[in-house]
Structure 1
C-alpha cells in the first residue's frame, strides 16, 4: 500500500478546517475590531486562511500532476487512488479558497460595527 502525501490531507481536511476556524475567529474578533475602529485583525485572519487554502490547492495540484498517468487506452489495471484523492484535494482546497475570498469581501465594504 502506498503512502498518501501530506499535500492530499492538507487539501481534503485541513483547508476546510482552516476556513471554518477563520470564520469563527473573525466572529470572535468583531467586537475588538469595532472597539478599536480598525479591521486589520479581521483582514489578517482572512488573508492567512485564503493563502493557506490557495497553497494547499497548489500542493494538491502538484501531487495530482505527479501521480496521474496519461490514459493510453489499454486495459492494464492501474492504481487510481492517489490521482483521484489528489484531484479531490485540489478541488476542495480551491473551493475553500473561493469561499474564504467571498467571506472576506464584505469585510472590505462594511464596517465591523454594523
Structure 2
C-alpha cells in the first residue's frame, strides 16, 4: 500500500488540488483572501510529502543487499518502491511550485 500511495495517489491528489484551486478562485476573490486556495494546496503538499516518505521507508526496507543469486520478486518490490519515491517527490515539488504563486499574487488578478 505504501508503494501505491506514491505511484497513484500522489499524482491524483496533485491534480485534484489544482482542480479545486481553480474552482475556489472565485470564492477567494469574493472573500478577498487566498486562504481557501492555500488550505487546499497545503493539504495536497502534505499528502504528497507523506506518500513520498512512506515510499522511501518501503524502499529502504526492501532494498537490502542481495546475495549473488537473489530472488527477482524482491528486486521488483524495491524497484517499484523506488519508482513510487521518485514519483511522490516529483509530485511534492510540483505541488510546491503550484502553491508558491498563491503566496505572491492576488486571486483577483
Q: TM-score range by the shorter chain?
A: over 0.9
- Tell me the TM-score normalised to structure 1 length: 0.91
Matched, 1:37 2:32: yes
Instruction: Give 1:6-25 correspondences, 5 Å limit.
Output: 6-25=1-20
**Cα distance in 1 between the residues matched to 2:55 and 2:70:** 24
* Bigger share in helix: 2
Tell me the equivalent position of 1:77: 70
Matched, 1:46 2:41: yes
**Cα distance in 2 between the residues matched to 1:38 and 1:77:** 57
Tell me the equivalent position of 1:3: none
- Tell me the TM-score normalised to structure 2 length: 0.95
**Cα distance in 1 between the residues matched to 2:12 and 2:18:** 10
Indicate the RMSD between aligned Cα atoms, in angstroms: 0.9
Q: Mind listing any 5+ residue stretches in structure 1 that lack a counterpart?
A: 1-5
Q: Mind listing any 5+ residue stretches in structure 2 that lack a counterpart?
A: none
Match of 1:26 among 6, 21, 24: 21
Per-residue deviation, residues 23-79 of structure 1 (Å, max 9, x unmatched): 00000000000000011110000000000000000000000000112255x2x1323
Equivalent pairs counted in the alignment come to: 107
SS in 1 for 2:108: coil
